[in-house]
Amino acid sequence: MRTNNSKVKNTIISIYFVLLVMAIAFLFVFRSFTYGVSNPFLVFVAIALGFAVLFFLVHYVSKYFEYDSDGLKVVVTNKGLLFTDKYNYREHKVEFEKEQLYGYKFTNFFLYKTLKLYLKDSRGKKKVETFNVTLVNRKKRRYIRQSLSKMVKSNLKEAKINE
């Protein structure tokens, strides 16, 4: 099964545009906020920090996610949505055999959702890989959950047979 959240890119670009327009509009309207305030510089710094926090929150949450379980290997990829063609500095890619997966967990924080994959390597060493699935819609997360559950169930049956 192959799935990704490529349709979200236009939404994220729109959010960045709205934040930029709001920041520019605020610069023009700032004078009306400063009347009646003892220290207008503190008001400006507080609002600028608010915009900066919103901008970096959107930047942190907005990641491209791709899941491919066709074939013998599973490929899971996270990378940034903007500037990924030239600067691929936020890519996290894991490629593993289906037999290496022994568990997974979806975690739903308030504004952030993650997928943790629990993998075993050939020597039996366990590791955890975490991916951002915030912008993957619920239907696609359900399909990913079904695919991963099928793999884990198959691996548990094999482990019981081999014991």
Give CA separation, 83 vs 12, 31, 78, 110, in Å: 13, 35, 14, 27
Give the integer Cα–Cα distance in Å for 163 and 155.
12
User: At residue 84, does pLDDT exceed 70?
Assistant: no
Give the integer Cα–Cα distance in Å for 16 and 24.
12
Contact 77, 14 (CB under 8 A): no
Q: Is the pTM value of this prediction over 0.85?
A: no
- Tokens of residue 107, six digits: 């975690």
User: At residue 96, does pLDDT exceed 80?
Assistant: yes
Residue at token pair 């819609």: 137
Sign of the alpha-carbon dihedral angle for 93, 96, 98, 103: negative
Give the integer Cα–Cα distance in Å for 135 and 114.
10
Report for 37-46, 79-88, 99-108, 121-130: range of highest mean pLDDT: 99-108
Q: Which of 119, 139, 10 is nearest to 64 (CA)?
A: 10
Question: What's the pLDDT score for residue 83?
Answer: 66
Q: What are the CB-based long-range contacts (under 8 Å, 24+) for 82-90?
A: 82/12, 82/13, 82/16, 90/63
Question: What's the pLDDT score for residue 122?
Answer: 83
Residues 34-53, mean pLDDT to the nearest whole number = 80
Sign of the alpha-carbon dihedral angle for 20, 24, 27, 29: negative
Residue at token pair 């490529």: 6
- Tokens of residue 26, six digits: 């605020």
